[in-house]
Amino acid sequence: MTGRVGVVTFPGTLDDQDARRAVRLAGGEPVPLWHKDADLHGVDAVILPGGFSYGDYLRCGAISRFSPVMEAVIEAAGRGMPVLGICNGFQVLCEAHLLPGALVRNSGQTFLCRDQRLVVENADTAWTTRFESGQVITVPLKHGEGSYQAEPAEIERLEGEGQIVFRYEGDNPNGSAHNIAGVTNAAGNVVGLMPHPEHAVEPGFGPDDEQGIRAGVDGLEIFAAVLNRC
């Protein structure tokens, strides 16, 4: 049976269609979820996509965290359902306390948009099992408030317990602590990352690696990985 992956749309979301397309290309069935939905309509996993939910008023993701659908997401995540937050979705997960830490303004105070190389630090989460730890992938990033921060003791705990999922390779683009680009919860079912894997899912329409071997599809492996669990 094809895995059903819900993709939430909040007011101001702009990458929901890209995320649904990525799920479809990976072999899954994308299910649109509206922010006012009180249930998840029987999906097997959930994606909170990128954008500017509620115009990023108050703080990025701060209002979306209180949308009706998030109560269902929080409950489902507690039962072990895989949940992925991309960019603004990552911010929502932190605001909902499904992931630790917070995302703040980039250290350079500018919006970034570029291809980004990432080191896969944890290949054992629901979303990363098709990678190997230490593997380097390339996906686009585009954000203005993507600097991941947490208390030093919390960063030390995340490092020690293997909850860093992705790390920026080379130059730190936004000032994130320890070059962190993505983290997971202790159970490994909830993952948040700043770069956009949904924009690297089809040959010819995503960033190539230096040898041109991957042909822009590194991001597709994230969506394919979760379908193995469905």
DSSP state of 3: P
Residue 87 appears among annotated catalytic residues: yes
The Cα–Cα gap between 76 and 82 comes to 8
- CB atoms under 10 Å from CB of 52, counted, come to 17
Tokens read off for 200: 């690297």
C-alpha 37: how far from its chain's center? 21
Nearest of 26, 29, 27, 31 to residue 8 by alpha carbon = 31
Which of 143, 198, 199, 221 is an active site residue? Answer: 198
- Give SS3 for 207: coil
Q: What is the number of residues in the chain?
A: 230
Which of 87, 95, 121, 199 is an active site residue? Answer: 87
Residue 199 appears among annotated catalytic residues: no
Residue 198 appears among annotated catalytic residues: yes
Residues marked as catalytic: 87, 196, 198
